[in-house]
A = this chain, B = another copy of it.
Amino acid sequence: MSDRLDWNDLRERRMAEPGAAETYEATRIAFELGQEVRHLREGHGWSQSQLARAAGMTQSAVARFEAGGTVPTLPVLERLARALDRRLDVRFASNADAA
């Protein structure tokens, strides 16, 4: 049942470490990106293996990422975006901007 772990699990896990108050946000972003990739992938009707091949990675890497197991790097995000026919968008938004 530790299948789809949810956000609170990850939060507890990461917040236990020292100086994690900032990494916390990065972990949240990673988690959300994982969710989004899963949705996009399923929208394409692809398996993790198929996405992995399209993005130049392995099924295990896709699974790890979708589960929020790691905070992904920009190159990986870029490759996933390409495979899913998206554009990776990273920017410093004004704090007033809507989510």
Q: Give Cα distance in the complex from A33 to B74, angstroms.
A: 12
Asked if A92 and B36 sit within 8 Å, CB to CB, the answer is yes
Given contacts A40-B92, A71-B74, 12 further A-B pairs with CB under 8 A are A22-B79, A22-B82, A23-B78, A25-B78, A29-B90, A37-B92, A71-B73, A71-B75, A73-B73, A80-B92, A88-B90, A89-B90
**Is A10 close to B, CB under 8 A?**
no
Identical copies in the complex: 2
Known A22-B78, A26-B78; judge A89-B91 contact (CB<8 A).
yes
* A37-87 at interface with B (beta carbon < 8 Å): 37, 40, 56, 71-75, 77-82, 84-87
